[in-house]
Copies of this chain bind each other. A is one copy, B any other.
Amino acid sequence: MKIINNVKKMQACADQARFEYKKIAFVPTMGYLHEGHLSLIRIARELCDLLVVSIFVNPSQFAPHEDFDAYPRNFQRDFEMTEKEGVDIVFSPEIDEIYPSKFQTYVSLEKIPIHLCGISRPIFFRGVATVVTKLFNIVKPHTAVFGKKDYQQLLVIRRMVSDLHMDIDIIGGETIREHDGLAMSSRNTYLTKTQRESALSLNKAMKSAQTAVESGVIDASRIISETKAFISSHPGTQIDYVAICDPETLEDIQVINRPALMALAVKVGSTRLIDNMILNMK
């Protein structure tokens, strides 16, 4: 496994692979890898000849008050895990390699980011779209894999790729959960034991919502109220949003008469967790 931290070198490797008719698959990550990332890496491994994983904690998607500095990092462990998965190249650049001085160009979307996480994190998706564009131009993949846990992010990437005619297949990988149902996230490492208990309320609430929908409840606002009440009954939780919305546009749905996205963002202590599920009628 090669570790590359230079943009030009990574581009040269990608060019070489393409000359050799190799298919390049790419999994962008912010490192501190867990089973969720590994599941994406395994999907990508099957699709390509050259598998590139990036590890880069992207400053432009964090607001000043957010956890950029505290975000967990463990490059050595990440390298060991990627090596074990048969990754060919880890692209792990320094910040100023990706954001040189005088940097001023951003990629942004007008509609998808005005919903859900974009409300409390107004620069987040601009940061994501920008860094993913950069990484795509550096790694030159044929296909890239993103997790469905970050549903809105996946939607942003799909829309951006389509809108800007990036010639890249985007694959969504299923959310991987701990045995007790907590969605895998690098930020789970922030949770104390009690907070971790409270964090389970997200998945439990979504399952209850699914059961309610299956039993014939179609009123989204009723399900949202019940979800909020349930999560709030757990110590240390503070709800950012609970939404039931169109899976493509993310616009709120009042009546659940077709598959609907249920999406949650909840602070547990100071850790912000997100999760989502498609609610299906029976």
- Count the copies: 2
Binds B, one of A77-85, A163-171, A272-280: A163-171
Q: Specify which of B18, B98, B110 is in contact with A104 (CB 8 Å cutoff).
A: B110
Please determine whether B165 and A105 come into contact, CB atoms closer than 8 angstroms. Answer: no
Binds B, one of A27-35, A130-138, A176-184, A252-260: A130-138
Residues of B within 8 A of A165 (CB): 7, 11, 98, 134, 137-138
Please determine whether A105 and B108 come into contact, CB atoms closer than 8 angstroms. Answer: yes
Q: Specify which of B11, B18, B108, B160 is in contact with A18 (CB 8 Å cutoff).
A: B18
A140: nearest residue on chain B (CB-CB)?
Answer: B167
Rounded to whole angstroms, the CA-CA distance of A24 and B80 in the bound complex is 40
A19: nearest residue on chain B (CB-CB)?
Answer: B21
Please determine whether B102 and A106 come into contact, CB atoms closer than 8 angstroms. Answer: no
Please determine whether B11 and A105 come into contact, CB atoms closer than 8 angstroms. Answer: no
Which A residues between 105 and 139 are near B, CB-CB below 8 angstroms?
105-112, 129-130, 133-134, 137-138
How does the 8 Å CB contact mask read for A11-28 relative to B, with 1 for contact and 0 for none? 100010011010000000
A19 shortest CB reach to chain B, Å: 7
Residue A159 at the chain B interface, CB threshold 8 Å: yes
Please determine whether B105 and A163 come into contact, CB atoms closer than 8 angstroms. Answer: yes
A-B contact pairs, 9 of them (CB 8 A): A98-B165, A100-B162, A100-B163, A102-B159, A104-B159, A104-B163, A105-B110, A105-B129, A134-B164
